[in-house]
Structure 1
Amino acid sequence: MAQSDFGLIAGQQRSSWIRLRTMILLRWVAIVGQLVALTVAQRMYGLQLELGLCYLAVGVSVIGNLIAIFIFPENKRLAESENLLMVLFDLLQLGFLLALTGGLNNPFALLMLGPVTVSAAILTTRSTILVGATAIIIVTLLSEFHLPLLTQDGALLRIPDLFVFGNWIALVIAVCFIGLYSRRVTVEIHSMSDALSATQMALSREQKLTDLGGVIAAAAHELGTPLATIKLTSGELMEELEGQPELREDAALIREQADRCRDILRDMGRAGKDDLHLRQAPLMAVVQEAAEPHVHRGKHVKYTHDPDAGIEMDQPSILRQPEIIHGLRNLVQNAVDFARSTVWIEAHWTDDRITLRIMDDGRGFPPQVLGRIGDPFVRARKAGNARVERPEYEGMGLGLFIAKTLLERSGAGLTFANGSDPYASTPVDGEYRGAIVAVEWPRHKIDARIGENAVPQGQNEKIKA
């Protein structure tokens, strides 16, 4: 599944995450609170209220809850429109009840913020704006149109007009601020949730490919001897059946099919690396494996390593973890996408650290987002320039986030920088002028020969039947 498809499906499903039972429970809490407030106001403080209308307003909520309980199943998931209607109903019911009990003179007017906060957390931006606008309209009407609060002696309970105006301003600001704040936090949480889910899917896919490669390579190794025996035996039969053309033809067919099986296993085993220990490989071999899908896309990918690090056999052998391979592959993909002609992959290692630098000769990272690289930029569409530079990729902008998350899981630290000003004139060809991504591990985290992750040396274990 493409990342863009994943994001679209996740966004569509999220509006149906809220269960009807949850909304019913919240409404019961509100109903109990309203009944308690009305009872206390009348019996303890002796306020003269239009109890008939007040209980009618509360009764409407009770009837709505009972209808929902008896008509719909408890596990029903509310659609976006159904959620919106329930929140608007609660908002209007609360507004009507406040109009019967003093309007903005009633301190419980603060509860108008509740439905706005709920809508910002569970509804889309458009629905949240609608609920917020409705709340502001209701608050404005309550400041002018409401029944007065009277004591048992007939005294009017009313705060000065200046305070009424202040309450109105405060509620309008609170509706806007809390709605915006709640919406922003919710979007961030949902973005991170989608991005982490996409990361887990990518890692799961890479793990399956790695496991499959190991099984294929092991099968090729184990079946090599039986196939060689079949080939040898069929060859001897062909020599003995010189005078029997039909039987000799059958023996030739057996040998031909044995050769075919050998070729198939060799090709399949190549995907799993024919080394003895599939869990480890030289550093540059892992780097080349990660970059391999993108080296034939019209850009020159150059591999180099520190000449002072020693000869080839001194190159560290690292773990072939799916996190490392997939993370590096995403970084190389990003470099190839935006490079003009060349991508450089440099490796450096010491006794304590292993460092990779992936560089290109493109325009580099935009300075305004350089500090935010690695965040899950979930976008519905791309800018025109991005579509021109990356015509074959229309994802969610999760590539760098996935790479950063997976590589950090393996113990790496990532830094992002530019080789030059992206908006400056083009420098001399061959200069590292584009984006630079440095990936650095403590050596003991990924070294497959020393330290806590050392892989045992020797013969591979045979596959048990």
Structure 2
Amino acid sequence: MAQPQREVFESHKRSNWVRMRTLVILRWFAVIGQIGAILVAIYVFGLSLEIGLIAVVVALPVLLNLVSMFLYPESRRLAEGEAGLMIGFDLLQLGVLLYLTGGLNNPFTLLILAPVTVASTVLPLRSTMVLGAITLAIITLLRSQSLPIKTAGGFELLLPDLFVFGFWVALMIGVVFVAVYARQVTQETLSMGEALAATQMALAREQKLTDLGGVVAAAAHELGTPLATIKLVSSELVDELEGKEELQEDARLIREQADRCRDILQSMGRAGKEDHLLRHALWETVIREASEPHLDRGKVVRISINPPNEGDWRQPTITRSPEIIHGVRNLVQNAVDFAESTVRVNVSWTDNLLTLQINDDGPGFPQSVLGRIGDPFVRRRRADGRGGQRPGYQGMGLGLFIAKTLLERSGATISFANAGPQSGSGRERGALISVQWPRASIEASQGALGDNTPIT
């Protein structure tokens, strides 16, 4: 997914993440906690506070909650600006309340981390940065400006300056760290969720195409006999209607349309009947089927078969599963996209393993992203800024993630590496993707064909 599209997509999704009811409930909990802390401070510890001003500040979120509950339905989801304003209000309300209750001398100042943490998980980066800057400004202001907390005897409760300074530094670092940490975890979760949804869509599409191919193949098989009969009869009519030009032309038209139906069915399906044979194929056949859409894209795709030197040299028959076909197709697509001229697909097997290696002659994976290949939304493969040379695609990551997820789902182990420097050049000679399956996980069992079953 291209970076501008990704940012718009992220902003659009995040703008409708949070319901107003969620923030209203959190605000009720905050108000109850504030009232409880104030009552304990006054009646248990006998502290002297500005009760009038504090009551006004605590009443503001109560009033906002009541207005929100009456004006908006509980299921209303907040846009980016609305969520930002509501979290900003909570931040300012808490800042004013801390100003009235001792500033950084109040241990509850730590709660100022809560609004910016919530913002970092539900708001886009721009709004999060704005609220983070406001939080840092409030903390800095509270360091030097606040009303003191006094005991009943008028004694001011003040921490040593060194403690206040340390608390200020800790809060400043905490705001940045907690916000970045929460946002990064949320981003990873969001990216993984989107990528898994895309994987499921790709698998569902591949499954539908597979099912559709079987239906079309069966239709081509079943309609073959009546179409052949129509063509035969129409050809005889053409001969018998010699001299009757108009009727003969109609008979020719019937024959041509029968041929056209035959060609259409042949173009839509290759096999003749949906049976168990279509569910299994030779190891090489499945790889060629998966690679076929990328064989005519201007690059040479060489598929080589390497039977074992020892053991059973016969090529195994495997299950033709949508996961394997779609996953291998994505890997070949990625190799063709970045290859300069040639992609080598090596198919091999042993008594225990089936191995597929895909090697292109492009610049290879940059070391900066090699360890993250297969994670969703790793957007660049090259570090030289030549991403625009990739024909027809922008960015990388989601396709490889889908391929990796689907292939691992089929029992494969996949690894990404660079094939190594060319002799004497010091230049990487392309990316190397290796996929291995335990033979027992995808090999068709003996006698798996069974009886043919009709399509319903």
TM-score (norm 2): 0.92
Q: Which residue in the other structure is 1:331 paired with?
A: 331
Q: Which residue identity does 2:348 align to in structure 1?
A: H
Q: How far does residue 108 in structure 1 lie from its aligned partner after superposition?
A: 0.6
* d(CA) in 1 for partners of 2:450, 2:190: 45
The 2-side partners of 1:362 and 1:55 are apart by 69
Aligned residues: 455
| Whole-Å separation in 1 of the counterparts to 2:28 and 2:387 | 51
8 A contact 1:328–1:403 mirrored in 2: yes
Match status 1:433 vs 2:429: yes
The equivalent of 2:320 in structure 1 is 320
- Name 2:439's counterpart in structure 1: 443
State whether residues 332 and 358 of structure 1, in contact with CA within 8 Å, keep that contact through their aligned partners in structure 2: yes
Counterpart of 2:110, as a letter, is L
SS at match of 1:372: coil
The answer to whether structure 1 residue 456 and structure 2 residue 455 are counterparts is no
Between the aligned partners of 2:420 and 2:272, the Cα distance in structure 1 is 38
- Find the residue that maps to 2:346 and give its secondary structure: strand
Contact 1:3-1:198 within 8 A present in 2 as well? no
Aligned residue in 1 for 2:187: 187
Query: Does the aligned pair in 2 maintain the 1:84–1:119 contact within 8 Å?
Result: yes
1:91, distance to aligned residue in structure 2 (A): 0.7
Q: 1:6-38 CA distances to partner (integer Å, 9 max, x unpaired)? A: 774354122211111111111111011111111
Which residue of the partner structure matches residue 297 of structure 2? 297
Unaligned stretches of 5+ in structure 1? Answer: none
TM-superposed CA distance for 1:252, in Å, is 3.5
**C-alpha distance 273-373 of structure 1, shift in aligned 2 (>3 A):** farther
The answer for the alignment partner of 1:364 in structure 2 is 364
Distance 1:3 1:439, change over 3 A: farther
1:144-159 map, 5 Å: 144-159=144-159
Q: Distance in 2 between matches of 1:107 and 1:424?
A: 66
Aligned positions of 1:110-189 closer than 5 A: 110-189=110-189
Q: Which amino acid aligns with 1:33?
A: G
- Return closer, same or farther for 1:423/1:195 CA change in 2, 3 Å cut-off: farther
Is contact 1:105-1:164 (8 Å) kept? yes
Distance 1:380 1:108 in 2: 45
Q: Offset of 1:422 from its aligned partner?
A: 8.5
SS at structure 1 position matched to 2:296: coil
Amino acid at match of 1:179: A
Distance verdict in 2 for CA 1:371–1:78, change over 3 Å: same
Gaps of 5+ in 2: none
After TM superposition, the structure 1 stretch with the greater mean CA deviation from structure 2, 109-118 or 234-243, is 234-243
Per-residue deviation, 1:166: 1.5
Residue 390 of structure 2: aligned partner: 390
Amino acid paired to 1:139: I
- 1:396 and 1:67 mapped to 2: Cα distance? 47
Q: Distance in 2 between matches of 1:382 and 1:71?
A: 52
Question: Does the C-alpha gap of structure 1 residues 435 and 176 become closer, same or farther in structure 2, counting only changes over 3 Å?
Answer: same
Q: Deviations over 1:83-110 (max 9, x none)?
A: 1111111111001111111111111111
**Structure 1 range deviating more: 312-321 or 33-42:** 312-321
Judging changes above 3 Å, is the alpha-carbon distance between structure 1 residues 312 and 9 closer, same or farther for their aligned structure 2 residues? Answer: farther
* Superposition deviation, residue 2 in structure 1: 9.3
The amino acid across from 2:449 in the alignment is P
The one-character-per-residue Cα deviations of 1:127-157 (angstroms, maximum 9, x if unpaired) are 2222122111111111111111112222222
Shift of 1:201: 2.1
Counterpart Cα distance in 2 of 1:254 and 1:293: 34
1:287 aligns with: 287
Deviations 1:45-76 (A, max 9, x none): 11111111111001111111111111122211
Determine if contact 2:87/2:115 at 8 Å carries over to the other structure: yes
Secondary structure, aligned partner of 1:385: coil
Following superposition, the deviation at residue 381 of structure 1 comes to 12
Deviation string 1:317-350 (CA, Å, 9 cap, x unpaired) is 2222221111111111111122121111111112
Residue in structure 2 matched with residue 83 of structure 1 by the alignment: 83
Inter-partner Cα distance in structure 1 for 2:423 and 2:55: 67
CA offsets 1:345-395 (integer angstroms, 9 cap, x no match):
111112221110111122211123222211113549997633343042114
Measured after TM superposition, the shift of residue 305 of structure 1 is 1.0
Question: What is the TM-score normalised by the length of structure 1?
Answer: 0.90
CA gap of 1:273–1:8, structure 2 versus 1, over 3 A, is farther
Corresponding position of 1:27: 27
Change in 2 beyond 3 A, CA 1:120/1:2 = closer
Deviations 1:231-278 (CA, angstroms, capped at 9, x unpaired): 3333444455557555444444333322221121111113x6878532
Q: Which residue of 2 aligns with 1:211?
A: 211
**312-321 or 34-43, which deviates more:** 312-321
Distance change >3 Å, CA 280–CA 396, structure 1 → 2: same
Paired with 1:381 and 1:59, the residues of 2 have a C-alpha distance of 55
What secondary structure is seen at the aligned counterpart in 2 of 1:278?
helix
After superposition, the Cα gap between the structure-2 partners of 1:404 and 1:226, relative to the gap in structure 1 and judged at 3 Å, is same
Measure how far apart 1:456 and its partner are.
Answer: 2.6
Q: CA deviation at 1:426?
A: 6.3
Q: What corresponds to 2:17 in structure 1?
A: 17
Specify the SS of the correspondent of 1:407: helix
What percentage of residue pairs aligned between the two structures are identical? 57
**CA 340–208 in structure 1, closer or farther in 2 if over 3 Å, else same:** same
| 8 Å contact kept, 1:363–1:435 | yes
State the distance in 2 between where 1:16 and 1:253 align.
Answer: 59
Match of 1:352 in 2: 352
Pair 388,60 (structure 1): closer, same or farther in 2 beyond 3 Å:
closer
Distance 1:223 1:58 in 2: 79
**1:385-424 to 2 correspondence within 5 Å?**
385-395=385-395, 397-421=397-421
